Chain A
């Protein structure tokens, strides 16, 4: 078996589901495809040997953020096709613009020589190693993140109140 097969299967699935997020007509289908896309990106994290990021990614994205999106979508009740779409001209323009961006990005990196793994360490992404980095070198940013999350929570609650007098 080709050892790079898992990468190509996962990459195909992520690109397909990402395209379906954009192209599917119903918003709820978009959310479900995005959840699937996040799971395939989690698979890429596993392939890259980043177990800690895989766990955090599944918990935060599939578990929290996408549930929030689904909840908001149900709250606004947009499963019907009441959403007006852009004209075909604008859709074509958007596709061409994004294609040009892709062309530029691929063209810039095409000439670069392929970089092989220049380190023999394979335990970079384990919980133990990242925990040491988080609670050692990056302790201050790690604590500041908690303040950011608290501020975001207060902001969300304040915005969600019925009306501000």
Chain B
């Protein structure tokens, strides 16, 4: 399994993570459904996680992978609370369209 590290330079992982992150940003700007936007945020988190793992493996240091583990735990907590909020919003105003959620606008 060591072979893959010799054949794939770290730059490829950086480029792949950048592409996935950019697609996540595009999704956040592209869609109006709040749940899809939430999913695109998960996509961005995963791109960063993958890059952190790649750096950790290339440097032979496990701290990076421990940090990825913590990020996953925080993401799980975030998703639980965020989806509860979305369900609550849907119960109250019957939509999760972000263009309708403009009550905070002055």
Contacts and interface: CB of A to CB of B under 8 A. Distances in A.
Interface string A1-32: 00110110001001100110110000100110
Contacts of A153: 80
Nearest to A4: B7
Interface in A11-62: 11, 14-15, 18-19, 21-22, 27, 30-31, 34, 37-38, 41, 44-45, 47-50, 52-53, 56-57, 60-61
Dominant SS among interface residues on chain B = helix
Given A45-B53, A138-B66, A15 B15 contact: no
Nearest to A125: B65
A148 interface: yes
Contacts of A30: 36, 39
Given A97-B25, A115-B9, A149 B84 contact: no
Interface in A62-78: 64-65, 68-69, 72-73, 75-76, 78
Contact of B16 (A15, A31, A50, A148): A15
Question: Residue among A18, A27, A50, A137 with the most chain B CB within 10 A?
Answer: A18
B46 A61 contact: yes
Nearest to A48: B57
Contact of B25 (A93, A98, A155): A98
Interface residues of A, number: 85
A85 interface: yes
A64 B20 CA distance: 22
Given A48-B54, A72-B83, A7 B4 contact: yes
Interface residues of B, number: 76
Interface in B1-20: 1-16, 18-20
Nearest to A100: B22
B84 A38 contact: no
Contacts of A41: 46, 49-50
A47 B27 CA distance: 27
Contacts of B26: 22, 94-95, 97-99
A118 B46 CA distance: 24
Interface of A: 3-4, 6-7, 11, 14-15, 18-19, 21-22, 27, 30-31, 34, 37-38, 41, 44-45, 47-50, 52-53, 56-57, 60-61, 64-65, 68-69, 72-73, 75-76, 78, 83-86, 90-91, 93-95, 97-99, 101-102, 105-106, 109, 112, 114-122, 124-125, 129-130, 133-134, 137-138, 141, 145, 148-149, 151-153, 155-156, 159-160
